[in-house]
Each structure stands twice: as structure tokens, then as C-alpha cells.
């Protein structure tokens, strides 16, 4: 799950749960213990996401920088020990919790992150400076990024995953977006017509917010329609996603019937339909 939509949703949940309140920080697993001690009891101000990176701003010019990596999770939930005094310190811990945040109403448990570090606001700005355009922050593809895409011979499949160009797109969105636009991932980026680049970007800008909202990567037209219909009726829109190619190797492409293949690109699993992606 951790592609950009997950992190943006998480930023919202962290902010709703903790912003404006003093928070107990701890590190049951131990590897964030020193920083947790420095943060403990401080007031959380806000949380924000850029691509797959999360920043939790804490009073005293402190920023917790988190990246979930491939299998990190950050579960935020209400706890049952709501009282008028201190946040409870005896909530049960399950598994390896790198960082725990607790206030009077909520607990957040971070497991398996690739990054969990206490940094300064300036250091967080540096992280952001190294990240490309985020479809969840920028409605329009910045010209600087468009120019770089128009110039590079690197494969469009690799470029879409390059966080310094496009921030937040991961393996699932990449596979499905390239299939939606009938594009072979191996096509050099500079050979992709400008109109197609724009169409892919606009698609991301439309689809990723639905991912934030539902917690699912919804990309097929029928899933999207169904989720939007359910949301309009007051539901969560949590439709079970149907992918065209992602992890569907050996199965027929829903558009052309050709068998979906799995290969490796830049060390990552790549799924595509040899029949209709050119």
C-alpha cells in the first residue's frame, strides 16, 4: 500500500488525531528511543506529505521525517483509555513498533519504516527539494519536469518511478497508468508524445485523490465509477480494486486478451501487456 496516496492519507490522519495536542513519544522497539525522548510531551503542530515522504511538525523546530519504504505501516487509531488526565502509557504493544505516539484520544504505531528520524525544518526542506512533482500537490505538470521528460532517453516506466521527477507514484500506479495509456514501459520518455504525457499526468491528478480517500489504488473505470457512486451515497468507496496488469502475469489482459507478462526493470517487478502496450 505505501505509494503516495497512502502517505497523504496518513498525514491527514496524523493531523486529525494529534495536531494541537501534547503527545507522548516512545520507541518500544528501541531504535528511535533517543529522539522519542527529546520529543516526548511536545505539542504536535501539523503533518504533511510530499510524495512518499511524511513530515510531522512538532513544537520546538522539530520535524519527524518518516518514509515507509516497501513494507512500513503507520496505524493511527482511537484508544479506549480516554480520560481527562495524562495520555495512557500502558497500551499494549504488538510487534515491532519503532515509534509510538499517544495523546488522550489516539495512538499511532509506526512499524518497519525505511526512515524514521528527527530532523530540523531546514533538513526537511532539503528532502522536499530533492523530490519531483507530486500529483497530489500539483494539478499541473511543472514545465521543468515536462522538459526533463522530453529530453531523457530513459524508459518511461523507470522515469515514472523516479521520485526526483514524479513524487508519489509507485509500482502499482506505474503499471496501471501505462496500461491505461497503452504505453510500453520500455518506450524512451522523450519518444512519448507531449499529449500522452499530459494525459498520464491528468489521470494521476484525478485518480490519486480517490486513492487517498478510499485507501485503495482504484484505476479501472468501473472501480472508479463504483467508488464515486458509493461516496456520493455517503459510503467509504472502499471497492476491491481490479488491476489490468499489476501482478496479473499469466492472465489475459482485460482489454485485448493477450497474456500479461512480468519482467524486471531497474530492480523492480514490471507488469505489462505485450498485446496493447506499444
Partner DNA sequence: CCGGAATGAAGAT
Partner DNA sequence: TCTTCCTTCCGGA
Residues lying near DNA in the complex (CB under 7 A) are found at 1-3, 6, 29, 31, 51-52, 67, 69-73, 94-96, 98, 111-114, 161, 163, 170-172, 217, 247, 266-269
Q: What are the C-alpha distances in Å from 8 to residues 138, 238, 240?
A: 13, 17, 20
Smallest distance, DNA to C-beta of residue 96, A: 4
Are 27 and 100 in contact, with CB atoms under 8 Å apart? yes
Task: Classify burial at 151, counting beta carbons within 10 Å of its beta carbon; exposed 0-12, middle 13-18, buried 19 or more.
Answer: exposed
Smallest distance, DNA to C-beta of residue 172, A: 5
Smallest distance, DNA to C-beta of residue 122, A: 18
d(CA 88, CA 242): 41
Which of residues 20 and 69 has its CB atom nearest to DNA in the complex? 69
Which of residues 43 and 49 has its CB atom nearest to DNA in the complex? 49
Which sign does the torsion angle of CA 70, 185, 10, 129 carry? positive
d(CA 129, CA 140): 18
- As annotated, the active-site residues are 2-3, 52, 268
d(CA 36, CA 42): 10
Which run of H or of E encompasses 221? Answer: helix 221-232
Which residues neighbour 210 within 8 Å (Cβ) at sequence distance 6 or greater? 218, 224, 227, 228, 237
Which of residues 21 and 164 has its CB atom nearest to DNA in the complex? 164
The conformation of residue 240, written as its DSSP 8-state character, comes to P
Which residues neighbour 183 within 8 Å (Cβ) at sequence distance 6 or greater? 156, 192, 196, 200, 277, 278
Which of residues 95 and 274 has its CB atom nearest to DNA in the complex? 95
Smallest distance, DNA to C-beta of residue 204, A: 14
CA neighbor of 192 nearest in space, from 205, 177, 212: 177
Smallest distance, DNA to C-beta of residue 116, A: 9
Which of residues 22 and 241 has its CB atom nearest to DNA in the complex? 241
Amino acid at each position: 500500500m505505501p505509494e503516495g496516496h497512502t502517505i497523504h492519507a496518513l498525514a491527514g490522519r496524523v493531523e486529525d488525531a494529534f495536531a494541537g495536542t501534547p503527545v507522548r513519544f516512545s520507541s518500544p522497539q528501541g531504535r528511535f528511543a533517543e529522539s522519542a525522548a527529546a520529543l516526548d510531551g511536545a505539542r504536535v503542530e501539523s503533518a504533511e506529505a510530499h510524495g512518499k515522504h511524511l513530515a510531522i511538525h512538532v513544537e520546538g523546530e522539530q520535524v519527524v521525517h518518516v518514509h515507509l519504504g516497501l513494507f512500513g505501516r503507520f496505524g493511527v487509531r482511537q484508544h479506549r483509555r480516554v480520560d481527562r488526565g495524562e495520555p495512557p502509557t500502558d497500551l499494549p504493544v504488538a510487534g515491532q513498533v519503532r515509534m509510538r505516539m499517544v495523546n488522550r484520544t489516539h495512538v499511532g504505531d509506526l512499524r518497519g519504516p525505511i526512515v524514521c528520524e528527527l530532523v530540523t525544518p531546514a533538513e526537511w526542506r532539503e528532502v522536499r527539494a530533492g523530490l519531483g512533482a507530486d500529483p497530489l500537490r500539483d494539478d499541473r505538470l511543472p514545465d521543468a519536469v515536462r522538459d526533463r521528460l522530453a529530453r531523457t532517453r530513459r524508459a518511461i516506466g523507470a522515469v515514472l518511478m523516479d521520485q526526483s521527477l514524479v513524487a508519489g507514484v509507485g509500482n502499482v500506479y506505474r503499471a496501471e497508468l501505462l496500461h491505461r495509456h497503452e504505453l510500453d514501459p520500455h518506450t524512451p520518455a522523450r519518444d512519448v508524445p507531449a499529449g500522452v504525457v499530459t494525459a498520464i499526468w491528468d489521470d494521476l491528478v484525478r485518480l490519486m485523490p480517490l486513492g487517498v480517500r478510499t485507501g485503495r489504488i482504484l484505476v479501472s473505470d468501473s472501480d472508479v465509477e463504483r467508488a464515486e457512486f458509493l461516496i456520493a451515497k455517503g459510503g467509504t468507496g472502499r471497492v476491491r480494486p481490479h488491476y489490468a496488469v499489476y501482478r496479473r502475469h499469466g492472465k489475459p489482459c482485460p482489454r485485448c486478451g493477450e497474456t500479461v507478462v512480468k519482467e524486471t526493470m531497474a530492480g523492480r517487478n514490471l507488469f505489462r501487456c505485450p498485446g496493447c502496450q506499444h
